[in-house]
Amino acid sequence: MLRYFPYILCLIHAGLLISVIPPITQAQVIKTGPLSCPGVALTFDLCPVRKGTGYDQALIDYLIEQKIPATFFMSGKWMARHEQQVQFLLHVSFFEVGTHGEVHAHLPLHSVEEQKQEILGPVRLLKAKYSHSATLFRPPYGEFNNDTVNVARALGLQFILWNVVSGDPDETITASQIEDHMKRSVRKGSVIVMHANGKGKHTREVVQDLHDHLLPDRNLTPMTINDLLTCKGTAAP
């Protein structure tokens, strides 16, 4: 069963997932949209990779072909190696771009100032090079502490996590296992975390199953994060 697989966000070999969620930060950390909204956010992390292109072209082509809204969280290191792809993704009208740290660091292991610089790196790059003002931030590995939340808030960034883990970077999980997990987990307001950096062996296949079967069968609509948070694009029942 998928829920029993340990999930390491983006780079499986990089370390163990640690989520530190103190009660005082809960309201500032977004895991879902409104539970009454018949929308689902498909989100894709673009973490740096050691091997491969670092870009799932087949997945992106499918999203565009089907006009599926999606939100991408880009790390600064990934952006530095994929300038053409950054420019392209920013100009797709139904895509949304957020940030994912500079070098994909384990933020709770760093000081407040170090966390600030890690978070600011891709924000500055998007503004300076692409004239894009980032408003969404997802911490690398899903790891954070009070300092992380406070820094993001001070920088005017919405802190976006998820409530449905695809597990797509795990090569031991089959497409069918991921799809079964989606059927058990996806509900109104869900935020699904996947990857568009080529680490997801079955990501495109799973997205197609979501688009063709699961979402329409449950009368759910794919949305960007911002549209989900405001339930824009569909009327809540």
Specify the DSSP element, H or E, that contains 195: strand 191-195
Cα–Cα distances in angstroms (integers) from residue 156 to residues 126, 151, 167, in the given order? 15, 9, 29
Q: What does the buried/exposed string (b/e) look like for 57-73 if buried means 16 or more CB atoms within 10 Å of the residue's CB?
A: eebbebbeeeebbbbbb
pLDDT tens for each residue of the chain, 237 residues long:
333 333 334 433 333 333 333 444 456 899 999 999 999 999 999 999 998 899 999 999 999 999 999 999 999 999 999 999 999 999 999 999 999 999 999 999 999 999 999 999 999 999 999 999 999 999 999 999 999 999 999 999 999 999 999 999 999 999 999 999 999 999 999 999 999 999 999 999 999 999 999 999 999 999 999 999 999 865 433
Helix boundaries (H) for the chain? 57-65, 76-81, 83-90, 112-130, 146-154, 175-185, 203-209, 215-217, 225-230
pTM as predicted = 0.89
- In angstroms, the CA 180 to CA 146 distance is 34
Residue 27 pLDDT: 61
Q: For 58-104, how does the pLDDT look when each residue is reduced to its tens digit (9 = 90+)?
A: 999 999 999 999 999 999 999 999 999 999 999 999 999 999 999 99
Question: Three-class SS of residue 137?
Answer: strand
Cα-flanking dihedrals φ and ψ of residue 229, to 5°? -65, -30
- In angstroms, the CA 158 to CA 51 distance is 31
Specify the DSSP element, H or E, that contains 41: strand 39-46
Cα–Cα distances in angstroms (integers) from residue 201 to residues 174, 197, 204, 207, in the given order? 9, 10, 8, 12
Q: What domains sit in the chain, N to C, each tagged with a CATH number? A: 40-230 (3.20.20.370)
